[in-house]
Amino acid sequence: MSLMLQVNNLSKQFDSLKAVDDLSFTVNEGDVYGFLGQNGAGKSTTIRMLLTLIKPDSGEINIFGKSVLHHRNEVLRQIGAVIERPDLYKYLTAYDNLSIFAKLSGLKISRKLIMDQLQMVGLADRSQSKVRTYSQGMKQRLGIAVALVHNPKLIILDEPTNGLDPQGIADMRNLILTLCREHGKTVIVSSHLLTEIEQIANRMIIIHKGKKITEGSVSELLDPSHTIVELQTIDDSKTLELIKASSWSAFLQPAKSGIRLQMNKVAIPSLAAWLTETGTGVLAINPKNSLEDYFLSLTNPANYVESAAN
């Protein structure tokens, strides 16, 4: 699988704010790449630098094996992007919007191709409706159609589900997967909706305060051997002492309250059986291995400060 995008040691500062801090990551061809971080983490600043809308203070950005600094126009011709809410002509139809944006891009595009693009994003039956009559989800999908009008290799979507209802979010999720699986597009999706990224991305990065916290495949980062198990018992203090005196002590994790262990999820039945045998009065065993749990554990201020110190 070939490398589509490579970012090396990217940094950007606004006055006293270090928005992006020595950030490096890679995106492979065919990825749906999740770009995750809390609000203010530096996601949008990074995306604007990828699109040359903001100049970095330092670092390198190579897309399709070429520097965006030295091959800007050539690189951008192969990228489609929707940054926040798409800019559309709301008093024109969806068809006319696509036609105008194609002409602005210097393209001669046929009616069939326009309708094919609208069909791809599920708007063919509303091609002659004015955009002002569209829901926010429909506008987002039309924005993606505009971004696709020149048939780019790489698509960058910044918070594409913002303001959408549950159905709109589901439609956007399915569209992104369709673009990757059926049309061979590489997609970078910036979002703070972690459960959505968990469902669509094969690789991801988590950033916090402009720095990379972790990067890798979703399956590796959510390895079942790293499952966090939270216990609730009738007497947590007594149960904790029993665990410390047993072989289960190797799995104990620091916790301000309650009992936390980290283990392979296949060991949970054995743990439950042992707890029952020791008469601890188990109230609940809660395994947690979702992307949201993982994200929150990494971006928790206490954990972040500790990891930075190490």
- SS3 for the chain is CCEEEEEEEEEEEECCEEEEEEEEEEEECCCEEEEECCCCCCHHHHHHHHCCCCCCCEEEEEECCEECCCCHHHHHCCEEEEECCCCCCCCCEHHHHHHHHHHHCCCCCCHHHHHHHHHHCCCHHHCCCEHHHCCHHHHHHHHHHHHHCCCCCEEEEECCCCCCCHHHHHHHHHHHHHHHHCCCCEEEEEECCHHHHHHHCCEEEEEECCEEEEEEEHHHHCCHHHEEEEEEECCHHHHHHHHHCCHHHHHEECCCCCEEEEECHHHHHHHHHHHHHCCCCEEEEEEECCHHHHHHHHHCHHHHHHHHHC
Residue, of 253 and 3, whose pLDDT is higher = 3
Domain 224-289: state its class.
alpha beta
* C-beta of residue 118 within 8 angstroms of C-beta of residue 98: yes
pLDDT value, residue 304: 44
* C-beta of residue 213 within 8 angstroms of C-beta of residue 236: no
What's the rounded Cα separation, in Å, for the pair 105 and 57? 29
First vs last Cα of the chain: how many Å apart?
A: 34
pLDDT value, residue 306: 38
145: pLDDT strictly greater than 70: yes
Average pLDDT over residues 219-239: 84
Residue 109, CB-side half-sphere exposure with 13 Å CA sphere: 25
Reported as a pLDDT band with limits 50, 70 and 90, residue 105 is confident
In the chain, list all ranges with CATH 3.30.70.
224-289
pLDDT value, residue 294: 64
Reported as a pLDDT band with limits 50, 70 and 90, residue 301 is low
pLDDT value, residue 310: 37
Average pLDDT over residues 301-310: 43
In the chain, list all ranges with CATH 3.40.50.300.
3-221
The second-level CATH assignment, the architecture, of 3-221 is 3-Layer(aba) Sandwich (3.40)
Please provide the average confidence, as pLDDT, over all residues in the chain: 88
21: pLDDT strictly greater than 90: yes
